[in-house]
C-alpha cells in the first residue's frame, strides 16, 4: 500500500481548534478563559507567590512583566500543572479545576511555548509540527496527511514557511518561534502562555511574532498570556498588563491607561526602596 493510498482513505484526527476534550467548547470572545484566585506557593522558607489574583479573557492578550526572581516561572508552572499551589484556586472556562499534571492542564486547553521551543533541528517542519502526535496507520507514518495539515494550520495563522519539508535548523529564529506557537494552538488550546517569545530576536523577527500574536487575538477564541521583559513590545501587542514583584501582582491595568515610563518607574522604585 502506498502512502497516497494510506492518506486518501483516512480521516484526519487532529482536534478542531477551540474544542477541548476536557471542558467542551472554548469560551466565546470576551468570556473569561482563565482565572487564578489567592494562589500562594512556598518552597521551604521561601515564599515564591503570595495571594496571586490573575485573569484573562478569550480574545485578550495579557502581558505579564517582572524581573528575574519575581515569581513568573513559578506562576507559569502552577497554571500549567507542573506545581500545585499551597493555597488558592484555578478556574478554566469558569469551572474550578485541580490540575494534577502538565498533561492534565493540556487536556483542559492550557498550552505553553517555552523559550527552548522543543523543536528537533534535524526533523522537517511538518514532523516537528506533529512531534509525539504523529498520524499513523498501523506502523506507517501518514507523511502526506501531516504535510497537508501542517501547511493548512500554518496558513490559518498567517505563517509563511517556504516548505514544510525543510529541516527546522535551516529556518530563522522568528520562523522557529512561529512554528512552535502554531503547533500549540493547533490543538484544543483555550489559554496560550508564551514564555519570552521575543528574547534574543532582532526587530524584524520580533515584529513577525508580534503580528502573529495579534492575528491569534483577532480569532477571539484564545486567551494569551505573554511573559516578557521588553515593556515597549508588551505595550504594542497586549490589551492589559500585570506586574509581578516579589511574588505579588502589584499592578493591573489596561495598556491604554499606562505607559512604558510608568512601568519603568514602578520597577525603579522597587530598587530604590530595596
User: What are the pLDDT tens digits along the chain (274 aa)?
Assistant: 444 434 433 333 333 333 334 445 567 778 999 999 999 999 999 999 999 999 999 999 999 998 888 999 999 999 999 999 999 999 999 999 999 999 999 999 999 998 777 899 999 999 999 988 899 999 999 999 999 999 998 988 888 888 999 999 999 888 888 899 989 888 779 999 999 887 767 777 788 888 899 999 998 999 999 998 888 888 999 999 999 999 999 999 999 999 999 999 988 776 665 5
What is the structure's pLDDT at 115? 79
What is the structure's pLDDT at 124? 96
Contact 236, 210 (CB under 8 A): yes
Radius of gyration of the chain (CA): 19
Match 494534577 to its residue by C-alpha cell: 100
What is the structure's pLDDT at 12? 35
CB neighbour burial string for 140-152, b if at least 16 within 10 angstroms, e if fewer: eebbbbbbebbbe
Q: From CA 210, how far away is CA 234, in angstroms rounded?
A: 9
pTM (2 decimals)? 0.84
What is the structure's pLDDT at 18? 34
Sign of CA dihedral 85, 87, 92, 95: positive
The CATH code of the domain at 3-273 is 3.40.50.300
Amino acid at each position: 500500500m502506498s502512502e497516497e493510498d494510506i492518506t486518501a482513505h483516512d480521516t484526519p484526527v487532529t482536534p478542531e481548534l477551540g474544542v477541548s476534550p476536557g471542558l467542551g467548547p472554548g469560551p466565546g470572545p470576551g468570556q473569561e478563559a482563565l482565572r487564578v484566585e489567592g494562589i500562594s506557593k512556598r518552597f521551604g522558607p521561601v515564599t515564591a507567590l503570595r495571594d496571586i489574583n490573575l485573569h484573562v479573557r478569550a480574545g485578550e492578550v495579557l502581558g505579564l512583566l517582572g524581573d528575574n526572581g519575581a515569581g513568573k516561572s513559578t506562576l507559569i508552572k502552577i497554571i500549567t500543572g507542573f506545581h500545585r499551589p499551597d493555597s488558592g484556586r484555578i478556574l478554566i472556562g469558569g469551572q474550578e479545576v485541580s490540575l494534577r499534571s502538565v498533561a492534565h492542564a493540556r487536556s483542559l486547553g492550557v498550552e505553553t511555548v517555552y523559550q527552548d521551543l522543543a523543536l528537533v533541528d534535524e526533523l522537517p517542519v511538518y514532523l516537528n509540527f506533529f512531534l509525539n502526535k504523529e498520524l499513523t496507520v498501523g506502523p506507517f507514518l501518514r507523511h502526506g496527511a501531516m504535510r497537508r495539515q501542517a501547511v493548512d494550520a500554518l496558513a490559518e495563522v498567517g505563517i509563511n514557511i517556504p516548505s514544510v519539508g525543510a529541516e527546522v535548523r535551516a529556518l530563522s529564529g522568528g520562523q522557529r518561534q512561529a512554528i512552535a506557537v502554531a503547533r500549540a494552538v493547533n490543538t484544543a488550546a483555550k489559554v496560550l502562555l508564551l514564555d519570552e517569545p521575543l528574547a534574543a530576536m532582532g526587530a524584524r523577527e520580533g515584529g513577525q511574532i508580534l503580528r502573529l500574536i495579534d492575528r491569534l487575538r483577532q480569532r477571539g477564541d484564545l486567551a494569551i498570556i505573554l511573559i516578557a521583559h521588553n515593556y515597549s513590545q508588551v505595550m504594542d501587542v497586549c490589551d492589559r498588563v500585570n506586574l509581578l514583584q516579589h511574588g505579588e501582582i502589584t499592578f493591573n491595568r489596561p495598556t491604554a491607561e499606562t505607559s512604558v515610563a510608568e512601568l519603568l518607574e514602578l520597577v525603579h522604585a522597587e530598587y530604590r526602596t530595596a
